[in-house]
Structure 1
Amino acid sequence: MIVSTDPATGTELARYRAQSPQEVDDILDAAASAQTTWRRRDVTDRVHLLRQMARVLREGKTGYAALITAEMGKPTTEARAEIEKCAMTCEYYAQHAPGQLADRLVASDAAESAVVYDPLGVVLAVMPWNYPFWQFFRFAAPALAAGNGTLLKHANNVPQCALAVEEVLRKAGAPEGLCRTLLIEVDQVAKIIADPRVAAVTLTGSTEVGAIVAAQAAAVLKKQVLELGGSDPFIVLADADPKAAAATAVKARYINAGQSCVNAKRFIVEEAVADAFVAAFTAAAAELKVGDPTDPETSIGPMARATLRDTLHHQVRRTIDAGARLILGGQVPDGPGCYYPPTVLDHVRPGMAAFDEETFGPVAAITRVADADQAITLANRTEYGLGAALWTSDLDRARRLTRLLDAGAVFVNGMVASDPCLPFGGIKKSGYGRELGAEGIREFVSTKTVWIGPAT
């Protein structure tokens, strides 16, 4: 049984019976058949669907955002922004996909040569709960434009969002069967990955689950894109404005209640500006309003599950026990709901839980360093490599230092964020492959060489 529960109150919202093996088989048959037809349509025809997807998302923004808030606790203002970002991404690929997928002619004296991009087929998307619409649409918009079909296996705590995603595609006019949601238990995923009607798999989630899915896909030689965990550094050098850096740092850490792989998590600050940064950061964090996620004034809603909060609190306590200083928060509040306050830990060092582990919630770990070289060294001292932020007034030095950071993206004097026009993904245990941009649309295509000699 798949159950939807409101993390703000603990109230059960809905429950669904998992689809039977026969129902799943029928869905796979329909998807494979629909994709065979879909791939034959011209890309300029396929992107019309993306424009309609954007329209449906915007028309239903209030209702879709309310589902996000109800099922995983995202504050209403952030949930509405998530839906808008999905619509913008659909429009981006509607405009740019024809050029990104255009045949590339190669000069040849003897023949006509070209590189062309063919769709792989039906792609299984295994998606998390933290951005229940965005994680799917950032994959689906380019995948559909390229001629693929999609199957969504969503996290089982957001089944209403999963069904709403399917509704968006249906209302937009997607061919029957091309984009379907699977309401299944986790132990059914391996069989679907192995099914010959599925060509590839994309997963956003934890590093542990990513390794499992990667092994399952590799066993049947299927393409994977993995966007996994992160412990992103946010570096503040001595020549940066510590107050400006702190203002952005608070948003980078606490947006979505800190429940994102690409949230800033480790704040590595040169000692010369550390006191000023910590003071400004703590003051801003203390102003954040924790509470009812349906209240437009709320900054931080509940965490998605009680187990996530328990894990986070255990990391906080272990970090304090190891010698870090608790500046703000750090206590589980009384009352219903999976709430945790914005928490600030100072004097965090390597070897402590909040430095070494991914903290998936509203906890900021501040580490003080002597200079820029030590900052880069500690920033890279992690098994992850998703994003990194670097704050400095010396842009020439910034350009040099960005090349030394082990990350899939480095943002200078800003917070790491995904953008449809830029590739997004990580290295090391943050995964491989890219979403978004021209690189993202070419992940689920076959790059084919076509050589045509003279007619005889």
Structure 2
Amino acid sequence: MTDTLTITNPWSGEVADTYPLDGPEAVDAKVRAAQEASLKWREGPLGLRIELVERFLVVAESNRDEIASLISRQMGKPVREARNEVGGMIGRARTMVRLAPQALADQSISLDDGIQRRIVRDPLGVILDIAAWNYPLLIAINVVAPALLAGNAVLIKHASQTAGVGLWFEDMFRRAGAPDGLVTAVMVRGSESTALVQHPGVHGVFFTGSTEGGQQVYRTVANRSHGFVDVGLELGGKDPAYVRADMPVELAAANLIEGAFYNAGQSCCAIERIYVHHARYDAFVEAAVEAAKAWTSGDPTHDATMLGALATPETLDVLDAQVADAVSKGARLWLGGERYGGSGWRYPATVLSDTHHEMSLMRDESFGPIIGIMPVEDDAAAVSLMNDTAYGLTASIWTSDHRAGEALGRRVQAGTVFVNRCDYVDPVLPWTGLKDSGKGVSLSSLGFAHLTRARGLHVRPLEMLG
């Protein structure tokens, strides 16, 4: 009897979709098919690879409503945000297409001694992309597009909550004319993916998810019995923001509340803690509470909905516990703070002020629509608190003096520091995390490095031997 995966609709609590799971023989067959596809794909010119990715994007765009509906149904994202994610995916992929020719070109090194020296980059072979559910298109395309452009085949093991998205990628690439085995969805539960990660036919593993999950993947890869492979990890965050005294508070509040509550706060780069210069603190809190009132919960299938459901029921317990802990230690609860009753997994937009670092809310990842706000004395205190974390994915500084913001940003320990922006991924810049937020780089021209293997060519012309 075939084992199946059942996905629950986070809004209604009803069954959303059911899929058959791959057994060990099916997994092995898919890896072997990907190996065969990769051997042929790597020999083709870059122009051919670019054409396939571009055709995929055209097909994906024509199926925008279909995939937006599936995402909304499977993980609770408002359908409007899901449609926006399709556009974001297309933009990221096209950025990687533009960067590919230069990033993948041979590098010639001249020492004026007649010897020809080149650094060349070869594809790894078969890339395993273990993608997360919170941005199921964007997270997957971060690996899929550059991997294909670099000459690899890709296996997509999507999160169980959004398993249908992995199948969608496979189908869209098939419709775009991809060879058999080049882009393949592997349907296994996360807890049963050890054999896939350790398969000798897999040559690179890229995981997006929790820090604990990343540690498990790293250990599993280390225990492979055949060969060494690289691992890219994009993990959790507790991303801070600092509002300086010179920043208009209404403008900062509107942007930061959106950065905290977009996608119900289920983003690794969502704003999870805000520090405000004491001179503007009261005004900022008032503006933030007012902005947060617009983020009301509603049916994700309705275009007007801003706050959908939480993708996992466990997050409800995390958020309840963080509110209770913060209030017991002196925080003021302005808005929300208690899960909704009834079916589904819903939590209101929640704002607390007068928070501090003895509270779980300001130290542990929330991954939900909740934000804590804390006053600080000056820039130095803000930077110290921003760095007082186990994570280091993104951070943002809000100021009317962007030069001062950049100077402060260089002191903040995060893979990406924004000035007057947040909850954003710029595909021309390296996406990377410090501390427990991960290892490796995706996106930008540097994102191709982990999907290829650098080799050296040293050529001494025959006439130099005489």
Q: TM-score range by the shorter chain?
A: over 0.9
1:439-450 matched pairs, under 5 angstroms: 439-450=446-457
Deviations 1:214-271 (A, max 9, x none): 1112333310110000000011011111111101001110110000110011001111
Question: How far apart, CA to CA, are the structure 1 residues paired with 2:341 and 2:231?
Answer: 43
Following superposition, the deviation at residue 289 of structure 1 comes to 2.6
Deviations 1:384-430 (A, max 9, x none): 00000001122232221111000000110111411221211210000
Question: How far apart, CA to CA, are the structure 2 residues paired with 1:399 and 1:83?
Answer: 31
Question: How far apart, CA to CA, are the structure 2 residues paired with 1:191 and 1:161?
Answer: 22
> Contact 1:6/1:72 (CA < 8 Å) preserved in 2?
yes
Q: More displaced, 201-210 or 14-23?
A: 14-23
Correspondence for 1:51? 54
Correspondence for 1:147? 151
> Contact 2:243/2:397 (CA < 8 Å) preserved in 1?
yes
Confirm whether residue 180 of structure 1 aligns to residue 193 of structure 2.
no
Question: How far apart, CA to CA, are the structure 1 residues paired with 2:143 and 2:409?
Answer: 27
User: Amino acid of the residue matched to residue 199 of structure 1?
Assistant: H
Question: How far apart, CA to CA, are the structure 2 residues paired with 1:53 and 1:87?
Answer: 9
Confirm whether residue 318 of structure 1 aligns to residue 335 of structure 2.
no
Deviations 1:316-373 (A, max 9, x none): 2122122211111101112212110000011110120101101110000111111111
Number of aligned positions between the proteins: 456
Determine which of 190, 200, 223 is the counterpart of 1:196.
Answer: 200
Determine which of 424, 430, 437 is the counterpart of 1:430.
Answer: 437
Confirm whether residue 386 of structure 1 aligns to residue 393 of structure 2.
yes
Q: CA RMSD in A?
A: 1.2
Following superposition, the deviation at residue 77 of structure 1 comes to 1.1
Correspondence for 1:248? 255
1:27-66 matched pairs, under 5 angstroms: 27-66=30-69
User: Amino acid of the residue matched to residue 269 of structure 2?
Assistant: V
- SS of the residue corresponding to residue 137 of structure 1 reads helix
Following superposition, the deviation at residue 9 of structure 1 comes to 0.2
Correspondence for 2:383? 376
> Contact 1:127/1:135 (CA < 8 Å) preserved in 2?
yes
Confirm whether residue 169 of structure 1 aligns to residue 173 of structure 2.
yes
User: Amino acid of the residue matched to residue 342 of structure 2?
Assistant: G
TM-score of the superposed pair, with normalisation by structure 1: 0.98
Question: How far apart, CA to CA, are the structure 2 residues paired with 1:302 and 1:66?
Answer: 14
Correspondence for 1:272? 279
> Contact 1:54/1:88 (CA < 8 Å) preserved in 2?
no
Deviations 1:163-191 (A, max 9, x none): 11211111111110011111112233222
**Which ranges in structure 2 are unaligned for 5 or more consecutive residues?**
none
Determine which of 119, 125, 145 is the counterpart of 1:115.
Answer: 119
**Which ranges in structure 1 are unaligned for 5 or more consecutive residues?**
none
User: Amino acid of the residue matched to residue 271 of structure 1?
Assistant: H
User: Amino acid of the residue matched to residue 307 of structure 1?
Assistant: E
> Contact 1:122/1:148 (CA < 8 Å) preserved in 2?
yes
> Contact 2:76/2:308 (CA < 8 Å) preserved in 1?
yes
- Which stretches of structure 1, 4 residues or longer, exceed 3 Å deviation after superposition? none
> Contact 2:99/2:444 (CA < 8 Å) preserved in 1?
no
> Contact 2:296/2:349 (CA < 8 Å) preserved in 1?
no
Correspondence for 1:262? 269
1:228-377 matched pairs, under 5 angstroms: 228-377=235-384
User: Amino acid of the residue matched to residue 166 of structure 1?
Assistant: E
> Contact 1:309/1:340 (CA < 8 Å) preserved in 2?
yes
TM-score of the superposed pair, with normalisation by structure 2: 0.96
Correspondence for 1:133? 137
Question: How far apart, CA to CA, are the structure 1 residues paired with 2:134 and 2:34?
Answer: 26
Deviations 1:61-92 (A, max 9, x none): 01111111010011111100101111122222
Question: How far apart, CA to CA, are the structure 2 residues paired with 1:87 and 1:287?
Answer: 29
